[in-house]
Structure 1
Amino acid sequence: MLGILFAVLSLAAAAFGCGVPFYPPAVSRVVGGENARPFSWPWQVSLQYQSSGQWHHSCGGTLIATNWVLTAAHCISSNTKYRLLLGKYNLAAEEQGSVTASPEKIIVHQRWNPYNVANGYDIALIKLTQHVTLSDKIQLACLPAAQSILSSNTACYVTGWGRLQTNGALPDDLQQGLLLVVGYATCSQPSWWGSTVKTSMVCAGGDGITSSCNGDSGGPLNCQSANGRWEVHGVVSFGSSLGCNYYRKPSVFTRVSAYDSWIKQVKL
């Protein structure tokens, strides 16, 4: 009996560790975005703002501790009231197990300059007023080791409730899109992003078909490590003004591993 109980507790601990969804994502090399499997990216957060008494999705985020959410600096505006939804799949539906959280404080990187996105530092942390309880639908993301760099053509998934195409509709269901990492040596070439992209960023996509889009900002770039756990290597930062899916203009992410010490310092 004790052995069975220990096994159950071990399974529960494994389920609520970081980067191992209770409902594994349906990953395939499908070209173009697709509906995610419900609750298969359980660290995905919807950051919402209040306007005229209504709440609206504005950005994504990643739950990295029971009271901390990682997002992009450009998602944060002063004098705006925010809330965060966790454990969500369909933003238009009432879903059992979902949680609405409020920010206690928001810390934007001190070197972020909204007038110079290409400078980098597009990262922010939101401390929640209360710890959230982890469940089958709400789990923590793993973060990569400090300074780790993804190899070119690593298959990762961007997730979010952003527009389905340039100037397109906002979906209710969480979307996922397969993006292949483009190494800095390629992404910094003049025919790609040139000097706009920095080593503190990750490029992924650029095939002219799949990309992040408006509303995905601040959300995660999910990449599976050798041990099977999903790690969030990027925070959606910017794309091309020419359109979301522009050829050789891959989605650009803040490289999480470049800010490991900053994240740890803020969370102290």
Structure 2
Amino acid sequence: MGLTEQLLLIGVVALGGVFGRLNCKFELESVTQNPLVTDVYVKARQPSGYTPHRIVGGADIPPGEHVPYQVSLQYRTRGGQMHFCGGSIIAPNRILTAAHCCQGLNASRMSVVAGIRGLNEKGSRSQVLSYSIHPKYQELVTSDLAVLSIKPPLKLNNSTISAIEYRSQGKDFVGGGVPVTLTGWGLRLPVPFPFLDNVNYPNVLQRMSYHTISNSECRNAGMESVTDTEICARGPFRGACSGDSGGPLIMESKNGLQQVGIVSYGLVVCGLYISPDVYTRVSTFSDWIGNQTKS
């Protein structure tokens, strides 16, 4: 799918059941040898558990191609910078992501990297100065979104680094059957296989397409608490997984690409057709997002 000059952000991925960072703390000082350890998708409190994940059923972004609005959120540890969530550029100094990605974390140890295809690339790094979590955020319930303030501002070039427009209130409601695309550096297998980090955790940004489903269908498929502030999507053997949280769900409209969702939550075993992925519906919160870019 080609990029157009006008990018419209329509959503941020939200997954549960759960692969969102549920009641977990980042004990990154003692973490691992795996440089790709990221956010945790767990069913219960596991303060020292880390399951880095990637998109299930996706494919590498081809060499020479970029997803200019996609960023990697990274956390500074004794072992270096570690990717833990995704995000999207909505202004030169603002990043949209999931609330569960940053709640309780020290902003001074967070940064974002833009303009990269592989996590081993240098790209353009900016420090997170602060983050604003939506005041009505409740984990696995509603309002799973946050806006990061960063410095220095990113230098947008419409090629490798570019802001995406997010879908606003008043636009047509995104219901079921809409083709959508997800990108991220999360787990690409339904569950991680021991001792196979190169298989579990590819370095290259992944891309995957599937379709939204209606919220009533989503509730019937087991996500009973889903509300109209969220979007559901699913496909056979494909979906978001841990490490994809906070990343953008994109749809293509007559005006170009639009972000409609933010990755929020889903089942621990990712990519099961019977289990939808749940995303924060960006249009519901467009006024709040806009206010965060003005401050």
Contact 1:16 1:134 in 2 (8 A): no
Deviation at 1:112, TM superposition (A): 1.6
Please list the CA deviations of residues 239-266 of structure 1 after superposition, one character each: whole Å capped at 9, or x if unmatched: 113x111222111100000101111122
Q: Which amino acid aligns with 1:122?
A: D
The secondary structure found in structure 2 opposite 1:263 is: helix
Aligned to 1:48: 74
After superposing the two structures, state which structure 1 stretch, 163-172 or 253-262, moved more.
163-172
Please list the CA deviations of residues 135-193 of structure 1 after superposition, one character each: whole Å capped at 9, or x if unmatched: 2100111111215421321111110000111333122100011120111121122xx13
The count of aligned residue pairs is: 234
Aligned to 2:233: 204
Contact 1:163 1:170 in 2 (8 A): yes
Aligned to 2:210: 179
Higher helix fraction (1 or 2): 1
Q: Which amino acid aligns with 2:174?
A: L
Give, in whole Å, the separation in 2 of the partners of 1:17 and 1:223. 12
- Find the structure with the greater CA-based Rg: 1
Give, in whole Å, the separation in 2 of the partners of 1:178 and 1:107. 30
Q: 1:79 to 1:223 in 2, by over 3 A?
A: closer
Where in structure 1 do 4 or more consecutive aligned residues deviate above 6 Å?
none
Bigger relative CO (Cα 8 Å, ≥ 6 apart): 2
Please list the CA deviations of residues 10-62 of structure 1 after superposition, one character each: whole Å capped at 9, or x if unmatched: xxxx9765459xxxxxxxxxx93111234431100000111214111000000
Deviation at 1:77, TM superposition (A): 3.8
Contact 1:39 1:87 in 2 (8 A): no
Aligned ranges 1:214-233 → 2 under 5 Å: 214-227=242-255, 229-233=256-260
- For the pair 1:161 / 2:178, whether they are aligned, the reply is no
Q: Which amino acid aligns with 2:252?
A: Q
- For the pair 1:33 / 2:62, whether they are aligned, the reply is no
Contact 2:103 2:133 in 1 (8 A): no
The secondary structure found in structure 2 opposite 1:264 is: helix
The secondary structure found in structure 1 opposite 2:231 is: strand
Out of 231, 236, 250, the position equivalent to 2:263 is 236
Aligned to 1:152: 176
Q: 1:176 to 1:108 in 2, by over 3 A?
A: same
Give, in whole Å, the separation in 1 of the partners of 2:250 and 2:61. 13
Q: 1:102 to 1:39 in 2, by over 3 A?
A: farther
Give, in whole Å, the separation in 2 of the partners of 1:237 and 1:187. 14
The secondary structure found in structure 2 opposite 1:261 is: helix
Aligned to 2:114: 86
Aligned to 1:137: 160
The secondary structure found in structure 2 opposite 1:131 is: coil
Contact 2:241 2:266 in 1 (8 A): yes
Give, in whole Å, the separation in 2 of the partners of 1:44 and 1:251. 19
Percent pairwise identity: 28
After superposing the two structures, state which structure 1 stretch, 162-171 or 63-72, moved more.
162-171
Contact 2:88 2:97 in 1 (8 A): yes
Q: 1:156 to 1:16 in 2, by over 3 A?
A: closer
RMSD: 2.1
Please list every run of 5 or more consecutive structure 2 residues that lacks an aligned counterpart in the other structure: 10-55, 193-199
Contact 1:147 1:258 in 2 (8 A): no
- For the pair 1:193 / 2:228, whether they are aligned, the reply is no
Q: 1:131 to 1:210 in 2, by over 3 A?
A: same
Deviation at 1:78, TM superposition (A): 2.7
Contact 1:118 1:198 in 2 (8 A): no
Contact 1:39 1:88 in 2 (8 A): no
Q: Which amino acid aligns with 2:166?
A: L
Please list every run of 5 or more consecutive structure 1 residues that lacks an aligned counterpart in the other structure: 1-13, 21-30
Q: Which amino acid aligns with 2:231?
A: V
